[in-house]
Amino acid sequence: MSKAKSVTLESSTIKGTVDIPPSKSLSHRALVAASLAQGTSRISNLILSEDILATIDAMRKIGAEIRLEEEGNRFVAWVKGASSNLSLGRKDNVTFDCRESGSTIRFIIPLSLHFAKEAKFTGKGKLVERPQSVYTELFDEKNIEYSYSNKRLPLTVRGKWQPGTYTLRGNVSSQFITGLLFTLPLLAEDSVLELSTELESKGYVDLTLEMLSYYGIQIENRGSFFIIPGNQTYQARNYVVEGDYSQSIFFLLAGILGGELNIEGLAEKSSQGDAVVMRLMREMEADVRIQADKSIQVKKSRPKGIAIDCNEFPDLVPALAVLLAFALGKSHLTNLGRLKIKESDRLEAVYQNLKALGADVERGEDDLTIIGKEHLSGGLVSGWNDHRMVMSMAMAVLGCEKRLTVTDPDSVSKSYPEFWQDYQMLGGKIYEWNMG
């Protein structure tokens, strides 16, 4: 099927129940941990998004055997870990196609040097230019050979990690820290991972530590130090992936702007950093309530504007900014610098799209100031080939006076292949697919 150039949407009334897709962050981590284990694990409640398929392919290259089965509208992965294959020695060279998945490439780069003598990493789209310099700086320090022309993929690495002290900045993507936390327990002796600056995205690092513990890996976190015993073995365990709070915000937005929704599949007590979205809804006084059966009921309302430091949850910003464009009063979103190196320059993307829809928004170096309006105009906006931008715009039309056309509608397959199907099931109105 050829890709659509754009999709034109109309405002509509949203009503029904949606089962939130599984957490992409937890899916990546569970698949990696199970793939490193002794024995076979069953990972259930998966969706085969482009990013998750990239990680499955990568772990197969490392040596895991992964068999996929359909289970209802989701998938189960039976994962036989690669640890038993290490007795055969490291592979000579392996090529990893990471598609557009930042998590995949940053989790796998360190692991590749444990399982292969040489590894080459390729990708497409924005991933080709997303920075990997955190690792190349470490390679220089640890005498790992690499080829990385003009700071663009492909990246080729040769060498082998040695136990010892590894130092990273804390104000970088947590994906780099996670990659080392997965790898260092496999080394023959103890290691220490030290953060030279304060840790940002702590929630994502905590997710990694919890997953490692679940699969039998012990790491002690003392302030800015991670004490990592060597020669550890991942233990096979079954795992059910909980719903994704990062995706829930699109449906919270839909219910608030467009009608009434019940949201199912979210864990009430979750370690996901983006679970903060429920606190934000309360602070905005949106009509969002947790029901007796733990589902979340969302009704149409007009929340109030607030000031939010977004440092710990950048993935919420595209939808959050749309919601605040309809809120009562003034809002201020700060610490948005990291949005510039996501699947798109999301800070610029959010600003430009809100402007195009007629929102009252001003941009600073790493902040946005938004004064809410009761309605936006609609019109033509870019999807920036970014799944979160496209999904945010799909919900924005619910508060627009005219139709909204957004480009790159197929980019949702990166994280949520069934998005448009669920959107229409709930009453979202697609006027026209534009094949171009």
Pairing of strands 360-363, 368-371: antiparallel
Q: Would residue 235 be called left, alpha or beta, if left means φ above 0 and alpha means ψ between -120 and 50 degrees? A: beta
The per-residue b/e assignment along 227-253, b for 16 or more CB within 10 angstroms, e otherwise, is ebeeebebbbbebebbbbbbbbbbbbb
Residues 6+ apart with CB under 8 A from 72: none
Separation of alpha carbons 117 and 171, rounded Å: 30
Q: Which of 51, 315, 410, 422 is catalytic?
A: 315
Q: Which of 21, 33, 39, 37 is nearest to 209 (CA)?
A: 33
Separation of alpha carbons 130 and 114, rounded Å: 23
Locus of tokens 């939010």: 308
Answer yes or no: 408 catalytic.
no
Residues 6+ apart with CB under 8 A from 324: 305, 306, 331, 333, 370, 372
Cα distance from N-terminal residue to C-terminal residue, the chain: 13
Residues annotated as catalytic (active site), given as ranges: 315
